[in-house]
Structure 1
Amino acid sequence: MTLADLLSAPPAIVAAGVDVFSDALRAQGAEVYDVDWRPPGFGDPAELAALALDPRRAAANRTAVERIMAAGSQLVDVRPAREVLGLPDRMLLHAGPPIAWADASGPLRGALIGACLFEGWADTAEEAERILAAGEITLDPCHHHRAVGPMAGVTSPSMWMWCLQDPVHGGQAFSNLNEGLGKVLRMGAYNDEVITRLRWMRDVLGPVLAKAVRGPVDAGADPVDVKSILAQMLQMGDEGHNRNRAGSLMALRELSPAIVAVEGVPSSDIAAVLEFAGGNEHFFLNLGMPTAKLAMDSARGIPGSSMVTVMARNGTEFGIQTAGTGDRWFTGPANTPVGLFLGDYGPEDANPDIGDSAIMETYGVGGFTMAAAPAIVRFVGGSVPDALATTERMYQLTLAENPAMQVPILGFRGSPTGIDVLKVARSGWLPQINTGMAGRVAGTGQVGAGLVQPPQQCFEQALRALAEETRAA
């Protein structure tokens, strides 16, 4: 066959991977040959066998999934971290697994410095660095306190927290308030603009939201059903991690009547709160994250379960936890997201992955439901077929489909839920996360957004630990 023959004849296509590519090509009249191929798996055969043959596993995973599906999420209060978390002076919480100052990345260091300035523990960035390096400030993961925080996730005693409860299992979960976009603490920025905003959030936003949330609940009204908002936003073009436009507007719709009715507050403050919330596309993210945290925490401590309950990153390491191994962390070096950059920033400016917000993917939304929000690819990169294929692939790694979190374009199929360590190891595929990118240098702020996966070794360690637990049972 000549080159001319090749270019003039109808194309014959060989496709490997999920069916969505082949189906799309066939719909256009192309001749497609499917090859049943998938990436090679990983893990020691003896460990894979031990976990696969564990007689407890099926029932344990079924219990874990049932608890996740049943979990609810109600917004019941807004209070300072020192009150609801018992956070003492000179302690800061951060995203991801445990880490020391010496190992902290640029954006985490920037956020820790900014928190020290905000709390008044230091007057200059240099003084903040000194006390942090000297160990005068205790650092601990948000996850150790039933809390989650996006990006650096730094939470200090004076910051106000969303307080959510699970009416089914009785759990509680917390998250700080979202700062909006631009130069923000969670991205590692700590200039005067950042500190001024944090003080306004402490002095105005937090107290107003507290009265708006607490007043109706104290008067006997039903708490805001945050899980319901999350379910609705998936049907309105959001995926619950990097795109929260519909969710933020629905949350504001629920809260605004009570905000307007708050007494004893200047009308200018009420207007500022409404303007801030209405202009913050990620306002809902800090409500969605503790909703996911509530569900995943309900599945903790189930012997024999191979389901992942936490995925979190501190900018240096990526860590996961499983239902069958409790609070034990399995960690590896965090990968750097690949995606789109703001302004003149490029790959060399991006820090490795950071944030507790991967709790959304752990729950089965975010990067797992990109098919519900095809417009997200304009922010994180890729294409609409990529978004569809990603969601299809995540079904291969999970234990169930969540009927409460439906994906319209897939015939309202439930979202892929319950990451299974064994399925990840057998397939060789890793969970997909879409995320923001913080600047590598402290103080930079956000440089872009993109896609990232956990390091394989997190799952290798979890597989080994689960196999050891199986043998010891």
Structure 2
Amino acid sequence: MTTIVNVGADLFADAVAGQAVDVERVDWRPPMPGTEADLATVAADPRRQDANRRALEAVLGVTARLVDVAPASEVLGLQRGEFLHAGPPIDWARASGPLRGGLMAGAALEGLVEDPEDAVALFEAGSSVSLEPCHHRATVGPMAGVVTPSMWMFVLEDPATGRRTHCSLNEGLGKVLRYGAYSPEVLTRLRWMGDVLGPLLQAAVRASEPVDVTGILTQMLQMGDEAHNRNRAGTLMLLRDLAPAMVRSGLEVADVAEGMRFVGANDHFFLNLAMPACKLALDAARGIEGSTMVVAMARNGTDFGIQVAGTGDEWFTGPAQVADGLYLGDYGPDDANPDIGDSAITETAGIGGFAMATAPAIVRLVGGTVPDALATTRRMHEITLGENPRWSVPVLDFQGTPTGIDVTRVCRTGILPQINTGMAGRVAGTGQVGAGLVTPPAEIFPQALARLAELARATSSS
């Protein structure tokens, strides 16, 4: 029996298949332009193979547990006038609309201004405020990712090492700070979260055994969640674990009831635990010299940046892209801001868009089809170093999720990481306008590859 192998264009394969001959199609693409020499240099680096093995093992060896809930001023040391934000470093002059809106809401929340609109002058002057990426403080933030000193934070810990990561509490969808909204209802909700929800969660977490966040992620991926834009099962499992301690907290019955209602009605609540769990795992691979594994993908609404295990804390950036997806109400592409948020840390760890096959219902939110979701998960295996046996995909015979994005594989295949994401309005104050699918700007991977090649040459000549 004859089998034809076709590489590249399908024209020849279609013609042969039309003659009842078996054809094996290979989806081959040339490397990204200009990367050939750097790919050869990095491939010859004697450290690479072992470094990537150790990086992947480090990531897979981490377990994340929720051990505390407390204000950012306590757990991060944030001072008055200090603001964290999503994505790589940026200043006010280049900040996108939703990031500006989130900062304006944060300034009003902290009492730096009475009216959020007055915060514009405050940030333009810059003398009494500072901006810093969440990632620089062992933190991640969804969408605008704005963190201020009074905001309450989830605290996750790896029991084997004691390393910790953090994330703010999830506000829900629509007109919320993380989407750049700053209306009175936004501030009222945030103040309630600070006065009631934060203390309630703190009391419950401190009175319970640490919540196994990694374990919940394992279960929810088999229950139709992918842990980025679908977190329904994860949220309800978290509520199951904390509800008894919340009831026994001794706080006002009405406050306990409202807190439980808020968490249970907010399908995205667990996202703010999935994100720091992924960061906790990926941070274990940071600083492994010679490793080509991506340890962070993050967006600030203007720039998309990545960090790599073997290049320290350096950011490689390019322009953030507008997602392709579904819009709310009368909103359309002209209303959407380019991609924003630290939540792509989920894809970096192998879930979210990489695990869309576990959550076929996600296509009703972000667009595409169920076959697209299955194909996406399969395709991401081509650019990753391995699989995560904890996080498996039932419909793919429980294959582990693709884990450990490899800069060299991205440059060699031209396949970009797939991210599913919410879309914020480009004008400050708008809120959420939709959800969709997006990829990083292609040029940031050759940037990272060039730096890896430079380091490899320096090592070989020393």
- The answer for the alignment partner of 1:408 in structure 2 is 394
Assess, with a 3 A threshold, how the Cα gap between structure 1 residues 17 and 188 changes in structure 2: closer, same or farther. farther
Of 194, 197, 207, 2:186 maps to 194
Whole-angstrom CA distance in 1 between matches of 2:261 and 2:7: 50
**Residues 403-427 of structure 1: CA distance to partner in whole angstroms, max 9, x if unpaired?**
0000000000000000000000000
- The answer for the alignment partner of 1:35 in structure 2 is 25
- Residue 37 of structure 1, CA deviation: 2.9
Q: Which residue identity does 2:119 align to in structure 1? A: A
Equivalent pair of 2:7/2:27 in contact (CA under 8 Å): no
Equivalent pair of 1:70/1:168 in contact (CA under 8 Å): no
* Structure 2 residue 453 is matched with structure 1 residue 462: no
Whole-angstrom CA distance in 1 between matches of 2:9 and 2:437: 19
- The answer for the alignment partner of 2:368 in structure 1 is 382
Assess, with a 3 A threshold, how the Cα gap between structure 1 residues 228 and 126 changes in structure 2: closer, same or farther. same
Whole-angstrom CA distance in 1 between matches of 2:444 and 2:160: 31
- The answer for the alignment partner of 1:180 in structure 2 is 172
Whole-angstrom CA distance in 2 between matches of 1:92 and 1:78: 19
- The answer for the alignment partner of 2:239 in structure 1 is 252
Q: Which residue identity does 1:178 align to in structure 2? A: N
- The answer for the alignment partner of 2:60 in structure 1 is 69
**Residues 266-293 of structure 1: CA distance to partner in whole angstroms, max 9, x if unpaired?**
1100000000000000010000000001
Assess, with a 3 A threshold, how the Cα gap between structure 1 residues 15 and 235 changes in structure 2: closer, same or farther. farther
Whole-angstrom CA distance in 1 between matches of 2:55 and 2:182: 40
Of 328, 334, 339, 1:353 maps to 339
Whole-angstrom CA distance in 1 between matches of 2:389 and 2:235: 22
Of 80, 83, 86, 1:92 maps to 83
Equivalent pair of 1:213/1:255 in contact (CA under 8 Å): yes
Whole-angstrom CA distance in 2 between matches of 1:95 and 1:360: 14
* Structure 2 residue 99 is matched with structure 1 residue 108: yes
Assess, with a 3 A threshold, how the Cα gap between structure 1 residues 335 and 17 changes in structure 2: closer, same or farther. farther
* Structure 2 residue 113 is matched with structure 1 residue 122: yes
1:330-349 equivalent positions in 2, closer than 5 A: 330-349=316-335
Any runs of at least 4 consecutive aligned residues in structure 1 with deviations exceeding 4 A, and if so which? 14-18, 30-34
- Residue 127 of structure 1, CA deviation: 1.6
Q: SS where residue 243 of structure 2 aligns? A: helix
Q: SS where residue 275 of structure 2 aligns? A: helix
- The answer for the alignment partner of 1:315 in structure 2 is 301
- The answer for the alignment partner of 1:228 in structure 2 is 215
Question: 5+ residue gaps in structure 1?
Answer: 1-13, 217-221
- Residue 38 of structure 1, CA deviation: 2.9
Equivalent pair of 1:15/1:33 in contact (CA under 8 Å): no
**Residues 299-330 of structure 1: CA distance to partner in whole angstroms, max 9, x if unpaired?**
10000000000000000000000000111100
Q: Which residue identity does 1:407 align to in structure 2? A: V
Assess, with a 3 A threshold, how the Cα gap between structure 1 residues 16 and 157 changes in structure 2: closer, same or farther. same
Equivalent pair of 1:401/1:415 in contact (CA under 8 Å): yes
Whole-angstrom CA distance in 2 between matches of 1:452 and 1:198: 29
* Structure 2 residue 224 is matched with structure 1 residue 215: no
Whole-angstrom CA distance in 1 between matches of 2:36 and 2:418: 25
Whole-angstrom CA distance in 2 between matches of 1:204 and 1:44: 53
Assess, with a 3 A threshold, how the Cα gap between structure 1 residues 267 and 17 changes in structure 2: closer, same or farther. farther
Aligned length: 445
Q: SS where residue 228 of structure 1 aligns? A: helix
Whole-angstrom CA distance in 2 between matches of 1:462 and 1:16: 27
Q: Which residue identity does 1:40 align to in structure 2? A: P
Whole-angstrom CA distance in 2 between matches of 1:185 and 1:33: 53
* Structure 2 residue 307 is matched with structure 1 residue 327: no
- Residue 44 of structure 1, CA deviation: 2.6
Equivalent pair of 1:317/1:333 in contact (CA under 8 Å): yes
1:10-89 equivalent positions in 2, closer than 5 A: 33-42=23-32, 43-89=34-80
Whole-angstrom CA distance in 2 between matches of 1:56 and 1:16: 32
- The answer for the alignment partner of 1:440 in structure 2 is 426
**Residues 330-373 of structure 1: CA distance to partner in whole angstroms, max 9, x if unpaired?**
00000110000000000111100000000000000000000000
Equivalent pair of 2:35/2:411 in contact (CA under 8 Å): no
- Residue 16 of structure 1, CA deviation: 7.2
Question: 5+ residue gaps in structure 2?
Answer: 1-5
Q: SS where residue 257 of structure 2 aligns? A: helix
- The answer for the alignment partner of 2:358 in structure 1 is 372
Whole-angstrom CA distance in 2 between matches of 1:254 and 1:71: 21
Equivalent pair of 1:337/1:451 in contact (CA under 8 Å): yes
Whole-angstrom CA distance in 2 between matches of 1:116 and 1:411: 49
- The answer for the alignment partner of 2:3 in structure 1 is none
1:165-176 equivalent positions in 2, closer than 5 A: 165-176=157-168
1:421-432 equivalent positions in 2, closer than 5 A: 421-432=407-418
Whole-angstrom CA distance in 1 between matches of 2:286 and 2:46: 19
Whole-angstrom CA distance in 1 between matches of 2:349 and 2:129: 32
Q: SS where residue 67 of structure 2 aligns? A: strand
Larger displacement relative to structure 2 (34-43 or 463-472): 34-43
Q: Which residue identity does 2:188 align to in structure 1? A: T
- Residue 171 of structure 1, CA deviation: 1.1
Q: Which residue identity does 1:252 align to in structure 2? A: L
Q: SS where residue 298 of structure 2 aligns? A: strand
Whole-angstrom CA distance in 2 between matches of 1:215 and 1:389: 44
Equivalent pair of 1:230/1:288 in contact (CA under 8 Å): yes
Q: SS where residue 311 of structure 2 aligns? A: coil
- Residue 34 of structure 1, CA deviation: 4.2
Whole-angstrom CA distance in 2 between matches of 1:276 and 1:112: 24
Assess, with a 3 A threshold, how the Cα gap between structure 1 residues 407 and 346 changes in structure 2: closer, same or farther. same
- The answer for the alignment partner of 1:133 in structure 2 is 124
Whole-angstrom CA distance in 1 between matches of 2:380 and 2:302: 25
Q: Which residue identity does 2:452 align to in structure 1? A: L
- Residue 32 of structure 1, CA deviation: 7.6
Q: SS where residue 324 of structure 1 aligns? A: helix
Equivalent pair of 1:76/1:163 in contact (CA under 8 Å): yes
Whole-angstrom CA distance in 2 between matches of 1:410 and 1:239: 14
Assess, with a 3 A threshold, how the Cα gap between structure 1 residues 17 and 321 changes in structure 2: closer, same or farther. farther
- Residue 31 of structure 1, CA deviation: 9.0
- The answer for the alignment partner of 1:4 in structure 2 is none
Larger displacement relative to structure 2 (204-213 or 125-134): 125-134
Of 260, 273, 276, 1:290 maps to 276
